[in-house]
Structure 1
């Protein structure tokens, strides 16, 4: 009987940074049968697994109800082999390389730190026991049907009970005995390509434009589309999809015409990159950023619904509406400090009584 090679999945359990990719260390640490993600192709997998077949994949983060699809990999499609039950390989959108692994309920084996899991029996409380850091990582897009617990490299999903009212604050005790429905392991092949191509641009240092997906879009997508390329919440969408968005839900709009685009299509060309962020997406970004600056703030926003009870004050200005884009635009160059106010302090200093907390942010107004 032919002995099946075990799949070794080595996962980096922390945030993926550009610096970690300078020597392709990350790629070397996420492997399948000795082949690196973003280096292994479908053909490579088929050589060792002749029965490799295509299969549908339910995208748990960006479901069919969402406006766009993740551009890192071919969404909704994957490959499986009977020799590796519970594992689905998904290839990069624009090449044959594998950039994502989905672990299904059939997966049974060890995680890279040696912890054994059987996804048929693996509950949310088991996840929290193995990885306590995920206890405060409740995330979900408005269009998704799952709670997501993620560190950007590995994501665990639990089905949201839409019939449970109210949705917020989250009844965390209720979900503890719910099963983990799937696990995604993802690496951005664009980060490696961006590094190799030298797309690191000093003009965008300390902003989200520094992300490799932006450079992929700038130097790859835009040159192919004379009518422009559109990204909604960092997800590539068709121009027609934007008609579904309520204008009042938009936090920011940036139009980029890089010199490469201008040279390719001319200064009067409509070609360009359109980056649109919704208020919910901007909120998730500024919450993540401020959490990195203040443990007190990070503890405060453990419940996703708490933001409605917070009054934000930016440079002594009370923010009433349409402020999400302004807060999401704060970066290390501008940030000076953050302070949490109690309800009593909020009333005493600002005369605001309809909020439970105040978050006072100060920035350097001379820097962009």
Structure 2
């Protein structure tokens, strides 16, 4: 029986992958590893290993030791920083006999660093929010001068990290300067023109340059968005299946501009501008987005497709490669509540409005 090792076990992004894999008929053994003991205690993995954080000098030794002990057939990572660090030692991982299903290291670097992605997209003529890398106070002033909207606002964010790390909409130069100081972020932040609040994600799996499957989800609300300055938390409250030819094309253009032969998982995040054009803002590379269980419960188990290709060279038989799920399915999420798969009509029929 095959073994699959999932990093970040216990955390929601990884647990939704684990839950999806546990629904598979082949009953692979799922092993979890992570750096937070309290998270690991919540995991549904059959075994749980505590290892150092990926940026710890001991990470490589401990990971290789774990691979030698358990001999998993496949290892998968669900965090940008760990993906980047694991990619650097991919030859050591492969030497243990464990498989990886990820793109080249160069592609991972260009996607994990949002500033690098933006430069490539701009060079390729893809419509993105005008963006500057902020290395100095002069760069920050230039960003305000050239990117400010009618209210003088720009969008600041950290180049690396998810969950809206460092995100801030502001028209106040002094506050922006203090914000970057607080994160020690000079050289690690970008300033961009402010887009709308409407976002969409195109999650896809590729194999040696060929698209296997892609499904679009738009976000209708963030959880705890009112607790942040940016309104963004990276924690989707309401997701909805959605399809758009325009989104399909822009997502593929964004991917091919960075990787001429895509291989693995590519999740293109897009935000609509004021002309109703979705602008790519990042590619979540080599990982599923947090709410991937949404698609699994709706009938499209993308972690299953991923592991079947990686382990058995088995590909899905789909009527449609792009957006096989119907539009309008909703995924409702809240703290300490089981998520709910539903529709707008079902909500209307279930609730009593006074």
Normalised TM-score (structure 2) = 0.26
* Larger Rg computed on CA atoms: 1
Normalised TM-score (structure 1) = 0.25
Relative contact order (C-alpha < 8 Å, sep 6+): which is higher? Answer: 2
